[in-house]
Structure 1
């Protein structure tokens, strides 16, 4: 075998070893030790339950441009006044700041402590309506190189007399796991959600096609069509079960106004309580 041939055979192995040695984070094993949550400062107890919920999902990219993200969420016509906000790549402190600015109940769980960014890295659910129960769901198939896990933050919100289960998730990247593993991660969330009659599920899926798993399980997919949410494709989505999407225009993507805030742009959808 020639030297060039030996190099060609060894290169994939050397690359794998190098990537495996570059751990980007430390998994959190105890689901309760790192939980952060808070309540609205000015809850309006006189307001009746709405017929329709506005849902927003936004990956804010390590919460680096948080002030700009808060301004967008608070002022953009498609986002302001949202009933449910799903955030990814957040810290507990950053989530608290968003919740205070928007006056929302909130719960946050990190998946890992990101060693390069020197901060926690996780998902949050923020709600205009009280959160009565929450949990962290660790998803299968950690990163094949770094061993870091992915999670969904789950929260049950009470809208009047109606309970709605909400999930904010961030599935594995194409570098971390393959498409089959992302489908398994989605199925793990759907399995947890199966006991709840009304479900909102959203987040950064790192995949444009994995939403078919939710659709095949009976979920509405109001954000299926639209422009890219990252430079790689339309990866950010919202799914509904036990709630209806009122019209074809009851979902959308915020593009131009969100540029420069994150490497993702937010998506939104309206859900009708049945």
Structure 2
């Protein structure tokens, strides 16, 4: 290309874009596998019910920086979410998790993965109507390339009438890391559950907004022996470009009998996804 035909402003604009990207403040991360860790048990005192449940219900909910906790509690105490056995939450801080668990009478475990731009911790939680007998943080590969924000999953073992059930609250990176990186994150979670038991639920915000990413994520889980339990529920996020199917539930060893998305206001841009499983 001759000098006269080269866009005169191309280099300055490229330099400006590079400066904007590299000027993003670096995230403060919690890379330690053991913490920070927060837990509590707000279940009513007394023996756990002796009869086996006929079904187990699971909700996954990204609460968007845990800013509207009151609205979230309202949503979680009305049908179809009311009485959920397990609630898997993302974008949470410790205070908000404890408040929700206290209001709903649940046990919980929470690990932050990083500090959000608003200065609060940013992580995942497992809340349960059943005893939590073990828990751990799963560090995920591929930090955000600009802020270096670290992503995690939080796994817990629940004791449901003597049967161990593994549940995982997931928050994969945004599409900026690329589909391959997010598939690596999903596979890291599956690998972390190998050998832990026959009943497993992996759910959360998989950030499957780019074309083809949901299909590839479902394919990966299917190849590793998981069923897409929330299949067909539709979009889970409202955005300026339309609805997006970001949140999913995958299962192994349990049969889904009902599923859906509660699209009423719940304090977040994400809508809670729920699945009811038959108890084997």
Same fold (TM over 0.5): yes
Look up the match of 2:134: 133
Alignment match, 1:263: 269
Query: Does the C-alpha gap of structure 1 residues 33 and 217 become closer, same or farther in structure 2, counting only changes over 3 Å?
Result: closer
Give the equivalent residue in structure 1 for 2:71. Answer: 68
Q: 2:53 maps to which residue?
A: 50
Task: Name the TM-score, length of structure 2 as normaliser.
Answer: 0.89
- Match of 1:26, SS? coil
SS of the residue 2:188 aligns to: helix
1:223 deviation in Å?
Answer: 1.1
Give the whole-Å Cα distance in 2 for the aligned partners of 1:127 and 1:181: 30
- CA distance in 2: counterparts of 1:227 and 1:33, whole angstroms: 35
SS at match of 1:72: helix
Taking the aligned partners of 1:80 and 1:24, their CA distance within structure 2 comes to 39
The DSSP-based 3-state class of the residue aligned with 1:136 is strand
Structure 1 unmatched ranges of 5 or more: none
Distance 1:267 1:18 in 2: 36
**Matched residue, 1:179:** 179
1:253 equivalent to 2:254? Answer: no
Q: Supply the distance in 2 between the matched residues of 1:130 and 1:227 (Cα, whole angstroms).
A: 32
Q: Check whether the contact 2:237–2:244 (CA below 8 A) recurs between aligned residues.
A: yes
Q: What's 1:218 paired with?
A: 225
Q: Larger deviation: 88-97 or 228-237? A: 228-237
CA contact (8 A) 1:258 1:266 kept: no
Where do 1:110-125 residues align within 5 Å?
110-114=112-116, 116-125=117-126
Q: For residues 1-274 of structure 1, what are the structure 2 equivalents within 5 Å?
A: 1=3, 5=7, 7-8=9-10, 11-12=13-14, 14-23=16-25, 25-47=27-49, 48-75=51-78, 77-114=79-116, 116-175=117-176, 177-196=177-196, 197-207=198-208, 208-209=214-215, 210-231=217-238, 232-246=243-257, 250-255=258-263, 257-258=264-265, 261-274=267-280
Q: Secondary structure at 1:158's aligned position in 2?
A: strand
RMSD: 1.8
* 1:16/1:145 contact within 8 Å kept: no
Larger-Rg structure:
2
Q: What corresponds to 2:211 in structure 1?
A: none
Segment drifting more, 101-110 vs 47-56: 47-56
Deviation at 1:220, TM superposition (A): 1.3
Structure 2 CA distance for aligned equivalents of residues 3 and 15 of structure 1: 22
Query: Structure 1 residues 24 and 51 mapped into 2: Cα distance closer, same or farther (>3 Å)?
Result: farther
CA distance in 1, matches of 2:279, 2:9: 60
SS in 2 for 1:227: coil
CA distance, structure 2, for counterparts of residue 31 and residue 43 of structure 1: 31
* C-alpha displacement of 1:46: 4.7
Q: Note the residue ranges of structure 2 that are not aligned, 5 or more in a row.
A: 209-213
> What SS does the corresponding residue of 1:19 show, helix, strand or coil?
helix
Q: CA distance change for structure 1 residues 21 and 50 in 2, over 3 Å: closer, same or farther? A: same
Change in 2 beyond 3 A, CA 1:221/1:145? same
Contact 1:214 1:239 in 2 (8 A): yes
